[in-house]
């Protein structure tokens, strides 16, 4: 197999995994829990993008035939869809996470409450717009060609865009985390919520910020993936959610660069699976994760979990 | 930690539950409950990851119900359809089947997935309830038992036609690449037939690529396949994964012929592969272009309900399944009036009636073998023709 | 209540106990569905492939089922034993994800092995019981046995060691508890129970395929335990029974069914953070139970 093609395929798939895991990791870093509604928020981002570019709802569901009275260009719709997804993520935080935090309940419970929120969202989508696939028209990128050659390999334009935007978002996020007041506040809460509180950082606001950001990233990722492949119904994000989980832990829980590194590694590893063994592809990410955890129990770039004394 | 008394109370409760469970069982001489109409049940995957199939099927059942009750129902008595969601898994299908049987349904339509059928159909078989499967294409479904039948033809009869059509279009084809979803029952069954047919025509596949049903990105498999420089690509995939694969194939520069299996015979592929759907050859168990009174009536009803669109195969097959049950009920009621009959015997007689009839359906003329396998007179190969905008298209029959 | 649904609820309760066992010593292992799937394959393969297991009568012989259960439990337990050592060094959410990974790996293996029937799986599995009521009685006995063992555990040194690890692993190690060994026992017992349950389920569901053990199932079984309560064994049992029945009981609401189901899962832990079953509630129940017979029995007293 030619190396360039493997690299291109692996990195572009890995970028999506990474983007997905980034949202997981932001929430994990401040709360120490995994948000199982993240996949549903991702799915919503894709639907929001579809609606904002003027797409109409199909013949099933309560909103059959509905379309927004305006149509935005794709690049205008994408950030707005991200904001919409961020709002939903904040709502999820409000109903599924905050009540538990206030009661200082076992973080384990948040796995279940967020799962419940995810189940509600997925089935709400189906109730409203039906189970059918929606697609962002291939022409949404304007005059760009569908694919282009690169050093003897062939790259789909959307995939290259996905990779570029993911890396861009990662860079912006890292700079913001290091350079801004809120970013440092977020890190401080991630480090130690109680000390941060003593230092005058509003940890509740920081948790909300983490959820908003994670929702935004998920929404944008959903819109971008929806451009690359169709929006395959209400369960669109679930498969990515599961892969994202492996990526998240592989990179190290709570580590931003870890999430992206994990994504790229899983993407590349999957791309290296030879054709004859393509049935085993889904096991590659998990197998890799499994092995890494055995050697390095906190993932590649993760901090060790605090030991109870 | 747990008080002993409570423990004993719990054991007692368990024993009570056991006793209650043992007291169930139907009388056997139960009459048919005809209040509100002649009861027929349907069990479809309306939720879970097969929800889109259930959604398509539900429309077909609703249209068939309306059609039947518009022409007098079952000899003047309305047909009553009870629809239950099975989810997309086996436990859900079993629970829904049992519920419908307990509620006194004369016959069942469903379940959506073959895997669900292998789990739920034996329940209906044991309790003597006729099942007409609208979408199970796996080998061995009617063989589950004497009460199990289907209107969905197996891939073994449809798939070879599409390959023949491709070879007729381009006789010089040499290098075939095959794709299938290895975790999907339909795909794995159909690809076996495709590969046999290809070998039979001296076209040993140059590569066989396995995908997963929930995969959306196929660049790895596609670049691996394109390295073999195929001039024919044969897909056994469902609408969503198949549509995405076609789009990515074309975007990555494949120009040759594409043959798709029966699972992609649905307009649901249009929004997925868009303009890239154009030219794909599809094996069909149902053709919207079939010009018969039965199909024209179905098309008219579908378009009135869903506004100008083309019905998917799953909708037509579900419509057919209820039509078959309804027509059999009409005949049965004339012979053995449902009003006085007892449920157990009526179910048994209905099964015999279903298998003995011949039906003019949207799928064409159909009958059943004594095992319950469908005998369909016509299958089709269509070529997708997309509108210039790439938003919608049609399945143009190959002559 | 219908016997078929009752059987599904009982299977749910058994799986919940399987998740509860490692959790009892603080280990969040979600590997249960993977072992459940393996156990089901053992039963499905034996009873469809070996004539002696299928028997010749209308129903397959009961001893065959028992042998399948033993073998299914043994295989699942052996897998757990083989991987338990390294896996159980992981903690908290890392362990949870690693065990989810294990479930997915097992699923892909089950799908790709040459003798497991691929996507279609194995079907036409013979029936040891002619009626679902037979399954209910059998599974009830199995559940009662499992509950009894869990109850016995409270009194045993092993049970106290498990509780000590859950409360504080370091402290437990300091007082001389062999923590890796104890955790491994809990993990293997959990796998064993899941494997045995899978063997029964494969017969009950008539067919078996790789979808039996999936990520969704991992989370669902965890929900059983969290919902019912993870401290005492009646918690998971109640959670498994209730949450399995819930989607069926919600059928009258039609399209809103799963939305309501999601709402229950979301709200349950908010209103009952300790789960439905807690020590205080049990105590109160016991007081009630103690009062009732006394009041009724009073006039009969000499």
The whole model's pTM is what?
0.91
Predicted pLDDT of residue C196:
98
Distance between CA atoms of residues C187 and C71, nearest Å: 17
Question: What's the CA gap between B236 and B261, in Å, rounded?
Answer: 5
Confidence of residue A308 (pLDDT cuts 50, 70, 90): very low
Interface of chain C against chain A, CB under 8 Å? Answer: 28, 86-87, 89-94, 97-98, 100-102, 104-105, 108-109, 111-112, 168-170, 215, 219, 222-223, 226-227, 230, 255-256, 258-259, 261-270, 273
Residue A169 domain-assigned (yes or no): yes
* C294–B contact, CB cutoff 8 A: no
pLDDT value, residue B399: 67
Mutate which: A2, A8, A9, A10, vs B, most B CBs within 10 A:
A9
| Six-digit token string for B25 | 């069982």
Q: Which segments within B88-238 are labelled E, that is strand?
A: 108-109, 131-133, 148-150, 176-181, 207-211, 232-236
Span B70-91, pLDDT tens digits: 999 999 999 999 999 999 999 9
Contact B140 C286 (CB under 8 A): no
Q: Compute φ and ψ for A232, nearest 5 degrees.
A: -85, 55
A221 in B contact zone (CB under 8 Å):
no
Residue A145 lies in a domain: yes
Pairwise CA distance, residues B229 & B206, whole Å: 9
User: A279, C108: Cβ pair inside 8 Å?
Assistant: yes
CA B328 – CA B352 distance, rounded (Å): 9
In a domain, A174, yes or no: yes
Quick one: pLDDT band at residue A61, thresholds 50, 70, 90?
A: confident
Report yes or no: A220 and A105 within 8 Å, Cβ to Cβ: no
- Flag whether A301 is in a domain: no
Q: Would you state the pLDDT for residue C91?
A: 84
Residue B82, strand partner residues:
B41
Neighbouring chains to A with at least 3 Cβ pairs closer than 8 Å: B, C
How many angstroms separate the CA atoms of B133 and C277, rounded?
A: 43
Q: What is the biggest distance separating any 2 CA atoms in chain A, rounded to whole angstroms?
A: 61
Print the domain residue range for A67. 3-295
Spatial separation of the C-alpha atoms in residues A190 and A172, rounded to whole Å: 19
Q: Rounded distance, CA B266 to CA C280, Å? A: 58
Distance CA B169, CA B173 (A): 9
Angstroms from A259 CA to nearest CA on chain C: 15
Question: Average pLDDT, stretch A173-201?
Answer: 83
A33 neighbors A111 (Cβ within 8 angstroms): yes
Locus of tokens 């599904």: C8
Distance from C-alpha of B112 to C-alpha of A122, rounded to nearest angstrom: 20
Q: What is the DSSP letter of A93?
A: I
Best residue of A278, A279, A281 to probe chain B, by most B CBs closer than 10 Å: A278
Number of domains in chain A: 1
What would the pLDDT profile of A99-147 be if each residue is shown by its tens digit?
998 888 888 889 899 999 999 999 999 999 988 888 888 777 777 888 8
Residue A192's domain is classified under what CATH number? Answer: 1.10.3470
Nearest-CA distance B399 → chain A (Å): 30
Q: Which of A104, A119, A259 to mutate to test the interface with C (most CBs of C within 10 A)?
A: A119
pLDDT of residue A189: 83
pLDDT band of B24, cuts 50, 70, 90: very low
Query: Taking the alpha carbons of C253, C254, C256, C261 in that order, is the dihedral positive or negative?
Result: positive
A144: closest CA of chain C, how far (Å): 38
Q: Is the pLDDT at B38 greater than 90, yes or no?
A: yes
Q: For A183-187, B339-343, B384-388, C96-100, which range has the lowest pLDDT when averaged over its residues?
A: A183-187
Those of residues 101-130 in C touching chain B at CB distance below 8 A are 111-112, 118-121, 123-124, 127, 130
pLDDT band at residue B120 using 50, 70 and 90 as cut-offs:
very high
Question: Residue B308 corresponds to which tokens in the numbers above?
Answer: 């100008």
Q: Is residue A300 part of a domain?
A: no
Cis bond before residue B111 (omega within 30° of 0): yes
Q: Look at C97 and A289 and tell me if their CB atoms are within 8 Å.
A: yes
The reported pLDDT for the residue numbered A238 is 83
Q: What is the pLDDT of residues B192-221, one digit of tens each?
A: 999 999 999 888 899 999 888 888 888 888
Look up residue A134 and give its DSSP letter: B
Instruction: Compute the half-sphere exposure of residue C267: CA atoms within 13 Å on the CB side of its CA.
Output: 7
- Is residue A222 situated within a structural domain? yes
How far apart CA A198 and CA A200 sit, in angstroms, is 5
At CA C169, angle to CA C165 and CA C170, rounded to 5? 145
Query: What residues of C are in contact with residue A34 (Cβ under 8 Å)?
Result: 93
How many secondary structure helices (H) and strands (E) does chain A include? 12, 2
What pLDDT, on the 0 to 100 scale, is given for residue B28? 56
Residue A129 lies in a domain: yes
Q: Are B117 and B136 in contact (CB under 8 A)?
A: yes
- In chain B, where do the E strands start and end? 38-44, 79-85, 108-109, 131-133, 148-150, 176-181, 207-211, 232-236, 257-260, 281-284, 359-361, 364-368, 374-376, 380-386, 393-397
Tokens (6 digits) for C273: 């953070």
ipTM exceeding cut-off 0.95 for this assembly: no
| A-interface mutation test, from C262, C264, C268, C272, most A Cβ less than 10 A away | C262
Q: Does A278 touch chain C (CB under 8 A)?
A: no
Q: How confident is the model at residue A304 (pLDDT cuts 50, 70, 90)?
A: low
Taken in order of first residue, the domains within chain B and their CATH numbers are 6-153+292-368 (3.40.50.2300), 155-284+380-397 (3.40.50.2300)
Determine, for residues A233 and B52 on separate chains, whether the beta-carbon distance falls below 8 Å: yes
- Within-domain flag for A307: no
What's chain A's average pLDDT? 87
Distance CA B272, CA C120 (A): 27
CA-to-CA separations, C154 to C121, C180, C232, in angstroms, rounded: 40, 19, 9
Q: What is the dihedral of CA A182, A188, A190, A191, to 10 degrees?
A: 170
Distance from CA of B83 to the nearest CA of C (A): 10
Separation between Cα atoms, residue C217 and residue C205, nearest integer Å: 16
Contact residues on chain B for A133, CB-CB shorter than 8 A: 52, 239-240, 243, 268, 271-272
**Which residue did the predictor score with more confidence, B292 or B3?**
B292
The beta-carbon neighbor of A119 closest among C104, C262, C270 is C262
Q: With contact defined as beta carbons under 8 Å apart, do B234 and B357 qualify?
A: no
* Contact residues, chain A, for C84 at CB < 8 Å: none
Diameter of chain C by CA atoms? 73
With beta carbons under 8 A apart, name residues in chain C contacting A119.
258-259, 261-262, 265
Rg (CA), chain C: 20
């Amino acid at each position: 197999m030619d190396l360039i093609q493997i690299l291109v395929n692996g990195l572009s798939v890995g970028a999506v995994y990474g983007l997905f895991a980034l949202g997981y990791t932001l929430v994990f870093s401040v709360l120490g829990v995994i948000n199982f509604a993240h996949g549903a928020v991702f799915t919503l981002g894709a639907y929001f993008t579809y609606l904002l570019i003027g797409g109409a709802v199909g013949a099933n569901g309560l909103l059959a035939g509905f379309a927004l009275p305006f149509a935005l260009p794709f690049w205008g719709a994408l950030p707005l869809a991200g904001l919409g997804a961020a709002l939903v993520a904040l709502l999820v935080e409000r109903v599924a996470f905050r009540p538990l935090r206030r009661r200082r309940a076992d973080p384990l419970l948040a796995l279940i409450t967020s799962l419940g929120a995810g189940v509600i969202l997925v089935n709400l989508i189906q109730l409203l717009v039906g189970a059918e696939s929606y697609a962002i028209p291939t022409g949404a990128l304007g005059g760009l060609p569908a694919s282009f050659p690169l050093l003897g390999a062939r790259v789909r334009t959307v995939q290259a865009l996905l990779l570029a935007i993911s890396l861009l978002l990662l860079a912006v996020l890292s700079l913001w985390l290091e350079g801004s007041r809120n970013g440092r506040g977020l890190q401080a809460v991630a480090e130690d919520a109680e000390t941060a509180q003593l230092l005058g950082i509003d940890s509740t606001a920081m948790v909300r910020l983490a959820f908003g950001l994670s929702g935004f990233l998920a929404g944008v990722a959903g819109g971008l993936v929806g451009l690359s492949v169709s929006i395959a119904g209400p369960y669109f994000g679930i498969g990515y959610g599961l892969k994202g989980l492996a990526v998240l832990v592989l990179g190290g829980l709570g580590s931003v660069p870890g999430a992206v590194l994990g994504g790229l590694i899983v993407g590349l590893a999957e791309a290296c699976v030879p054709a004859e063994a393509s049935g085993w592809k889904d096991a590659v990410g998990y197998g890799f994760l499994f092995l890494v955890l055995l050697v390095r129990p906190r993932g590649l770039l993760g901090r060790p979990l605090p030991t109870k004394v | 930690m747990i008080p002993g008394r409570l423990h004993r109370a719990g054991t007692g409760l368990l024993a009570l539950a056991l006793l209650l469970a043992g007291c169930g069982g139907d009388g056997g001489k139960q009459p048919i409950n005809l209040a509100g109409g002649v009861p027929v049940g349907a069990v479809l995957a309306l939720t879970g990851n097969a929800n889109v199939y259930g959604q398509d099927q539900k429309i077909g059942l609703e249209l068939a119900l309306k059609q039947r009750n518009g022409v007098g129902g079952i000899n003047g008595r309305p047909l009553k359809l009870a629809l239950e969601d099975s989810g997309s898994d086996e436990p859900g299908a079993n629970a829904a089947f049992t519920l419908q049987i307990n509620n006194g349904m004369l016959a069942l339509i469903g379940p959506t997935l073959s895997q669900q059928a292998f789990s739920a159909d034996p329940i209906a078989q044991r309790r003597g309830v006729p099942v007409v499967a609208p979408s199970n294409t796996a080998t061995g479904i009617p063989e589950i038992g004497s009460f199990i039948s289907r209107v969905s033809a197996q891939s073994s009869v449809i798939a070879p036609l599409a390959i023949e059509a491709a070879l007729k279009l381009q006789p010089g084809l040499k290098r075939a690449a095959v794709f299938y979803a290895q975790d999907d029952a339909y795909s794995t069954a159909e690809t076996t037939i495709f590969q046999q047919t290809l070998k039979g025509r001296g076209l040993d596949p140059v590569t066989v690529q396995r995908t997963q049903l929930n995969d959306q990105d196929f660049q790895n498999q596609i670049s691996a396949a394109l390295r073999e420089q195929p001039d024919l690509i044969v897909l056994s995939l469902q609408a969503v994964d198949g549509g995405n694969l076609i789009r990515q194939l074309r975007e990555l520069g494949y120009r040759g012929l594409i043959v798709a299996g029966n699972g992609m015979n649905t307009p649901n592929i249009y929004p997925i592969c868009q303009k890239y759907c154009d030219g794909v050859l599809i094996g069909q168990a149902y053709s919207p272009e079939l010009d018969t009174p039965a199909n024209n009536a179905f098309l008219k009803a579908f378009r009135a309900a869903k506004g100008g669109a083309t019905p998917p195969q799953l909708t037509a097959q579900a419509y057919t399944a209820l039509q078959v049950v309804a027509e059999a009920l009409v005949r049965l009621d004339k012979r053995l009036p449902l009003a006085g009959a007892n449920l157990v015997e009526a179910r048994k007689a209905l099964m015999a009636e279903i298998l003995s009839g011949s039906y003019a359906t949207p799928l064409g003329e159909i009958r059943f073998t004594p095992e319950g396998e469908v005998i369909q007179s016509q299958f089709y190969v269509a070529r997708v023709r997309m509108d210039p905008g790439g938003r919608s298209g049609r399945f143009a029959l190959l002559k | 209540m219908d016997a078929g649904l009752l059987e599904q609820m009982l299977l749910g309760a058994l799986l919940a106990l399987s998740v509860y066992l490692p959790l009892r010593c603080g280990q969040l292992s979600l590997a249960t569905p993977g072992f459940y799937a393996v156990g089901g394959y053992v039963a499905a393969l034996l009873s469809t492939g070996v004539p002696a297991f299928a028997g010749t009568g209308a129903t397959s012989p009961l001893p065959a089922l028992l042998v399948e259960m033993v073998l299914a439990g043994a295989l699942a337990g052996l897998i757990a034993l083989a991987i338990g050592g390294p896996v159980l060094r992981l903690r908290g959410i890392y362990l949870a994800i690693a065990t989810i990974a294990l479930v997915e790996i097992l699923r892909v293996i089950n799908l790709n092995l040459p003798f497991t029937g691929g996507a279609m799986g194995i079907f036409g599995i013979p029936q040891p019981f002619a009626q679902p009521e037979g399954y209910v009685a059998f599974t009830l006995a199995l559940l009662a046995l499992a509950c009894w063992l869990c109850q016995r555990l409270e009194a045993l040194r092993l049970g106290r060691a498990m509780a000590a690890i859950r409360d504080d692993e370091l402290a437990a190690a300091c007082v001389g508890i062999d923590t890796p060994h104890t955790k491994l026992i809990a993990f293997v017992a959990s796998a064993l129970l899941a494997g045995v349950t899978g063997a029964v389920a494969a017969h009950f569901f008539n067919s078996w395929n790789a979808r039996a053990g999936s990520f969704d199932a991992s989370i669902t079984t965890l929900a059983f335990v969290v919902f019912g309560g993870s401290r005492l064994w009646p918690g998971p049992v109640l959670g498994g029974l209730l949450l399995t029945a819930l989607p069926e009981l919600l059928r009258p609401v039609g399209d809103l069914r799963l939305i309501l189901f999601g709402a229950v899962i979301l709200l349950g832990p908010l209103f009952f953070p300790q789960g439905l079953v807690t020590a205080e509630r049990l105590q109160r129940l016991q007081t009630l139970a103690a009062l009732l017979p006394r009041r009724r029995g009073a006039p009969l007293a000499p």
